[in-house]
Structures are given as C-alpha cells and as structure tokens.
C-alpha cells in the first residue's frame, strides 16, 4: 500500500488535477468530503458521529476523521495506491496517517504542494459562477457561458457563492496559509514534499506530477 497527497490552497485545482491523474494512473482518488458523505450515507457509526459535528457546524475531530480514513483504506487490497485530496489538514492528522500507513505495511510516497500565485487564486475563485439548478460551474473569463448569467446545460441562473466573493476569498487564503504552514514544514522535514507549478495549464501540471512519480503515459490518455 502506498499513498500520495495533493496539498494546495482553495482554487489550486486539487480536484481537477486528481481527476486527470486518476485517469492516467492506478491511484484511487479519495477526498475527505467523499469519505465523510459515504460514511454518513452508509449509516456507519463513525459516519453518524461525524454528522453530529457537521450538523452543528463544528470541525470533525482528528480521531473521527482517522477512523473514517482507516475504514476506507481497509476496503481495498493491501497493494492499493491512494491519492488523498483535502487530507490531511493538520499536522496531527499527518502524523496519524503515517501511523495508519505503517500499521498496514504501507508508505507515503510523495506530497505534492500545488503552488499557484495568490493573484491567480483570487481570480479563479472570485470569477467562479455556479448554476442554481444543476450545479454546473463556470468562470466569467476562463469558462464563460454562451449567454451571460445563464447555464449552457439547463438554462438555470448562474450566481456567485458567498464564499467566492473577493473579500471572502482573500480571507480563506490567509486562513489556509496560517493553518497549513506547519503541515508543509512537517512534510519538508520528512523529505517527501515536491512543489508543483499549478498556475499553468492543468495538462502541464499533471505531467510534472507524473514525471515526479515516475509514471509512464500522460494524463487524460
């Protein structure tokens, strides 16, 4: 068993890059949100415990998150390869993940920090528009709809999520920097952190990661 981690600020493109890598490799894409929703939907005791915190708007404790992660990786074979997206979020979660991997005979192969200039992150998030009806995502400049304010797919109204306003985006980035610096330092000291330029075209970003992993082929093929 082995794992890689995609680490990056809001707007860095972790989910998009993960999808490209998933199609080019045999890594299983696992996100914290997906794991939480799956555990809740399955009615697992740990899922119900997590939901009790989520419904109150509180952060799910590290030990609960780790139980969900452990249950998830035990669903696959011992030689499975995982790509974590949005996890770990804290240094404590990172330490606990190390313990879980070791206890299952696995290892953390690489942590990829998706570096994107702050101005690009603000533009990506503040320019995002979402369809109220079907949830399709657009960008006012990069992926504009054919008709301004109208979804190409269903004709629904497009809107800017409150957390995508420029002031909120800047605050989210500041919070990420404060909360994540210790995690970046942790992985740098372990010698597993690789910084990737994620401000370029996603195909180029994926190619850099594939090269660092020593994977053949190219993303999306």
Catalytic pick among 67, 124, 128, 129: 128
Catalytic one among 72, 89, 95, 202? 89
Q: Is 162 exposed, middle or buried (0-12, 13-18, 19+ CB in 10 A)?
A: exposed
CA dist 46 and 36 (Å) reads: 9
Catalytic residue among 67, 124, 129, 172: 172
Say which of 132, 161, 177, 190 is annotated catalytic: 161
Neighbours of 148 (CB within 10 A): 10
Residue 109 bears catalytic tag: no
**From 14, 67, 124, 129, the catalytic residue:** 14
- Kind and range of the H or E run holding 23: helix 14-24
Per the annotation, the verdict on 41 as an active-site residue is: no
What is the arrangement of strands in the sheet containing 193-197, beginning at the earlier edge strand?
A: 28-31, 81-85, 2-8, 107-115, 193-197
Provide CB contacts within 8 A for 177, sequence distance 6+. Answer: 9
The answer to whether residue 129 is catalytic is no
Instruction: Establish whether 110 is a catalytic residue.
Output: no
User: Would residue 51 show up in a list of annotated catalytic residues for this protein?
Assistant: no
> What is the CA angle 121-201-86, rounded to 5?
50
Selection from 108, 145, 107, 147 nearest residue 129 by Cα: 145
Residues carrying an active site annotation: 14, 89, 128, 161, 172
């Amino acid at each position: 068993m082995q794992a890689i981690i995609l680490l990056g600020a809001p707007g860095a493109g972790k989910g998009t890059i993960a999808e490209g890598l998933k199609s080019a490799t045999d890594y299983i894409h696992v996100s914290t949100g997906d794991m939480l929703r799956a555990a809740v939907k399955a009615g697992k005791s740990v899922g119900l415990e997590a939901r009790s915190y989520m419904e109150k708007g509180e952060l799910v404790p590290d030990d609960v998150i780790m139980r969900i992660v452990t249950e998830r990786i035990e669903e696959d074979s011992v030689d499975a390869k995982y790509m974590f997206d949005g996890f770990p979020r804290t240094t404590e979660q990172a330490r606990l993940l190390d313990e879980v991997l070791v206890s299952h005979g696995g290892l953390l192969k690489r942590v990829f920090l998706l570096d994107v200039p702050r101005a690009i992150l603000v533009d990506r998030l503040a320019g995002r528009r979402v369809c109220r009806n079907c949830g399709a995502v657009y960008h006012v400049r990069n992926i504009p709809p054919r008709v301004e304010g109208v979804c190409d797919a269903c004709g629904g109204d497009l809107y800017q999520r409150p957390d995508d306003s420029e002031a909120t985006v800047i605050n989210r980035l500041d919070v990420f920097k404060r909360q994540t610096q210790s995690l970046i330092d942790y992985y740098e000291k372990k010698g597993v952190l690789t910084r990737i330029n994620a401000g370029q075209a996603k195909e180029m970003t994926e190619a850099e990661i594939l090269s660092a992993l020593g994977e053949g082929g190219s993303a999306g093929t």
